[in-house]
Structure 1
């Protein structure tokens, strides 16, 4: 295993799942999601119990799923309730159903040890449910391992090489992390930047005057293997002027591919009327460069015929802790 399985992962966004089928590959498992008549979401293994054919290639009869091969029919709990060629379905015929929690805009699915979901609820994301916040999102699929993504976003010192246009004028280097908080299951860092004028993108989205200088506070948090949170706050003399949160729902499709559910959230009094479109454009361009680097690193790892030892630097502190957390979770699951 290259990622923990006993974890809630984002399977889809709420607007992706409707009356039809939404198939997705999650932690090396084919899953089909669909919305029931009461509005809730069901998730089943996307394989018929009779033959290896995807249920998502069939059709629905109300809340029932009918396989498009022989017509075997399943309820939302995965039980086979009808086989057209005989009076009763075989005893015990069913497909696995997965626990689902919908907490807008994310639909979380547990594909790990059955029953384990009761001990680890999905992470809370209140900034994605209103209270003065606005959000825009997109889904990317990245040909890179889950751990590479977490480590990348826990070390933003690459910004000077990869995203120089994002750096406020006059700042030549990021200050060291003032604080790194760690627990057995999460890690978070905080960094404060000296006051500086606004970068062009900051002035565009914030509605603030570029003639003044502002402080910035940046945090990055490995919340769970399935969730990373970054905040960026522009602060004036009277307090926060613009708060940004970049949320990444990281969901491994396989050892070398990860679905990335991105949400860019903002809150501020003077923001541009089309701030959502502007932020989406800014961070989509950043994501393009990030993905290119991440996929290149994955190719290098795949090409290495023998293990290589790469050195670490001080800025890797939070990333290394996240790596140890994930390795510990994987080892615990292997032990079971």
Structure 2
């Protein structure tokens, strides 16, 4: 296992959870999500307590979940309340229920140490549903580890090789990271770009004059193992003209696969009315290339029969620190389980 369990992870977007079942593999655990009559979301382990059969393959009776194998019936806390073949369920007949928090477009779930969720809330994402902001999003399944995804997005120097059409005219390389901030559980960086005219995609979306030169500020943050945030601001002489935030909810499926919940948020005074569709198209294609490379890197790691030591460069400063935090969290959890 190369990911920490004691963390809030995105299980779904709110619009994915309705009056049916949503089955999802999260942190090597099968989970079923359902929306209850009061509008809240419940999350249960997707296995009947009687036999290893998915509860999501059964049906609902209101807020009750009925297993499709022998009819064992569970309430939203995971307690077995009915077994058709006998008068009362056996003592202790229960499936685990997982804490859930719904905020903005995300449904967060805690599958780690029971009770640990009370020590820290899910990360705040006010830009995803704040006044003046608009967002579009998608979910992707990527055959690469959580660690590789965080490292990739903490080093955007690959943009010149992988996404040259997105680079503003005249910028030949990214300046060195001006500032890398590290706390016990997070890493962030800030980078200022020199003034340059707009790239075609920037002009289309921003509604700004493509002849003028603008400054740009880029930031990236490993907020938690389950959340990565990047901002990109285009500014003229009077201040920000376009603000973009790319939010990644990273949720391990297993050690070598990850659910990615991608949201692109924007605001600006003269933004194109088609900004949502344009941004969705730009960042969907960008994600296609990113994920293809990361899946190749994962395959190479899996194929290596002997450990290799890969070198780091200056642009890896933030990524190396994030790796240290993730590794430390995993090792700490292992130590607590095996004193």
Whole-angstrom CA distance in 2 between matches of 1:200 and 1:296:
29
- Deviation per CA, 1:56-94, whole angstroms, max 9, x where unpaired? 000000000000000000000000000000000000100
Question: Where does structure 2 lack aligned partners over 5 or more consecutive residues?
Answer: none
Whole-angstrom CA distance in 2 between matches of 1:75 and 1:269:
49
1:206-285 equivalences in 2 (<5 Å): 206-285=206-285
SS in 2 for 1:209: coil
* Structure 1 residue 274, shift from structure 2 partner: 1.0
Q: Partner residue of 1:298? A: 298
Q: Partner residue of 2:327? A: 327
SS in 2 for 1:180: strand
Q: Partner residue of 2:70? A: 70
Query: Structure 1: which 4+ aligned runs deviate by more than 4 Å?
Result: none
Q: Partner residue of 1:286? A: 286
Whole-angstrom CA distance in 2 between matches of 1:195 and 1:27:
43
Q: Partner residue of 1:2? A: 2
Whole-angstrom CA distance in 2 between matches of 1:20 and 1:130:
29
Normalising by structure 1, we get a TM-score of 1.00
The reply on whether 1:201 has 2:201 as its aligned counterpart is yes
Whole-angstrom CA distance in 1 between matches of 2:273 and 2:288:
25
Question: Where does structure 1 lack aligned partners over 5 or more consecutive residues?
Answer: none
Whole-angstrom CA distance in 2 between matches of 1:120 and 1:112:
12
* Structure 1 residue 104, shift from structure 2 partner: 1.6
1:43-122 equivalences in 2 (<5 Å): 43-122=43-122
Normalising by structure 2, we get a TM-score of 0.99
- Deviation per CA, 1:112-131, whole angstroms, max 9, x where unpaired? 00000000210000000121
Q: Partner residue of 2:32? A: 32
SS in 1 for 2:97: coil
SS in 2 for 1:205: helix
Q: How many residues align?
A: 336
- Deviation per CA, 1:3-28, whole angstroms, max 9, x where unpaired? 00000000000000000000000000
SS in 2 for 1:320: helix
SS in 2 for 1:48: coil
Whole-angstrom CA distance in 1 between matches of 2:48 and 2:107:
23
Whole-angstrom CA distance in 2 between matches of 1:94 and 1:16:
26
Whole-angstrom CA distance in 1 between matches of 2:103 and 2:123:
10
Whole-angstrom CA distance in 2 between matches of 1:104 and 1:171:
36
The reply on whether 1:186 has 2:191 as its aligned counterpart is no
Whole-angstrom CA distance in 2 between matches of 1:101 and 1:31:
15
* Structure 1 residue 33, shift from structure 2 partner: 0.2
Q: Partner residue of 2:165? A: 165
Q: Partner residue of 1:134? A: 134
SS in 2 for 1:327: helix
* RMSD (CA atoms): 0.4
